[in-house]
């Protein structure tokens, strides 16, 4: 029995390792294998002008030299932000609609590139997939066109009427819908400070006029009448010298 005791410590260590692996198993399984090309936001309102951001991580020491983004059906780009060190080219269809956006430049090893543009979301609700092709400087190509469960999934945006409108760029009448149609009611409920100020000024002017009227001295006519009555009263109280002799 005494010889078997030294085996207990290795067995305990193995048991603790097994428990640790069991506890970390779900976390390790759910951890992403690599960073993916993404298009944000992940949610948008139908027909809403949105500021889209394309995030392109480089997981290769060679770095990225080109990104081609296919524009989903119903998405209407209309303005683009300049990315320093990158050029932009549009691929269009016969009707002039933008089919794809191509950026060319270079990132450092394991660098990150970000591109932004304004575009209206599709009028119809539902998911839209942003398929892209990433080309590295060493010639390697990664196609982000697969499903969500694939190794190279395409970024997806859910278009839903429940998403608040962004109205990026102030296009169309989306601003009126952004406040739920209460813009007119808010303006009507807003106090009219100009009218209130004018009314207050009028009241102050009337009060000043009333106070000035109370402190106003008697007019000339009133003064003459008052002096005349005072002189008559003094004359009536006096007697002539002849009357005194009698």
pLDDT at 145: 97
Q: How do residues 43-67 score in pLDDT, each as one tens digit?
A: 999 999 999 999 999 877 889 999 9
Q: How do residues 82-140 score in pLDDT, each as one tens digit?
A: 999 999 999 999 999 999 999 999 998 888 999 999 999 999 999 999 999 999 999 99
Superfamily name and number for 38-171: Uncharacterised protein YcnI-like PF07987, DUF1775 (2.60.40.2230)
Residues 65 and 135: beta-carbon distance below 8 Å = yes
Q: Distance between CA 79 and CA 77 in Å, rounded?
A: 6
- 76 pairs with which residues across the strands? 120
Show the tokens assigned to 230: 């005072």
For the chain, the farthest-separated pair of C-alpha atoms sits apart, in whole angstroms, at 168
Query: Taking Cα atoms as reference points, which of 72, 69, 71 lies closest to residue 56?
Result: 69
Q: With a cut of 60, say whether residue 212 has pLDDT above it.
A: no
For the chain, the structural domain boundaries read 38-171
Q: Distance between CA 25 and CA 31 in Å, rounded?
A: 10
Q: H or E segment at 4?
A: none
Is the bond leading into 41 cis (omega within 30 degrees of zero)? yes
Q: Distance between CA 123 and CA 48 in Å, rounded?
A: 8
Phi, psi of 201 (to 5 degrees): -65, -40
The mean per-residue pLDDT over the stretch 227-244 comes to: 52
Strands 155-159 and 43-44: parallel
pTM: 0.58
DSSP 72: P
């Amino acid at each position: 029995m005494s010889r078997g005791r030294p085996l207990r410590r290795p067995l305990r260590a193995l048991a603790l390792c097994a428990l640790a692996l069991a506890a970390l198993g779900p976390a390790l399984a759910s951890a992403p294998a690599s960073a993916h090309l993404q298009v944000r936001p992940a949610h948008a309102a139908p027909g809403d002008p949105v500021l889209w951001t394309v995030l392109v991580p480089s997981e290769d020491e060679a770095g990225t030299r080109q990104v081609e983004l296919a524009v989903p059906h119903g998405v209407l780009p209309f303005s683009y932000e300049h990315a320093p060190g990158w050029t932009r080219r549009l691929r269009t269809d016969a009707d002039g609609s933008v089919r794809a956006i191509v950026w060319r430049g270079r990132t450092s090893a394991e660098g990150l590139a970000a591109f932004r543009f304004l575009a209206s979301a599709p009028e119809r609700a539902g998911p839209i997939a942003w398929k892209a092709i990433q080309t590295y400087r060493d010639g390697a190509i990664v196609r982000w066109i697969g499903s969500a469960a694939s190794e190279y999934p395409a970024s997806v945006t859910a278009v839903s009427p429940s998403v608040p409108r962004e109205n990026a760029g102030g296009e169309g009448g989306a601003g009126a819908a952004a406040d739920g149609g209460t813009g007119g009611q808010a303006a009507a409920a807003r106090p009219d400070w100009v009218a209130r100020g004018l009314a207050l000024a009028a009241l102050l002017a009337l009060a000043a006029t009333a106070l000035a009227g109370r402190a106003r001295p008697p007019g000339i006519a009133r003064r003459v009448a008052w002096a005349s009555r005072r002189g008559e009263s003094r004359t009536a109280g006096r007697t002539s010298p002849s009357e005194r002799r009698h």
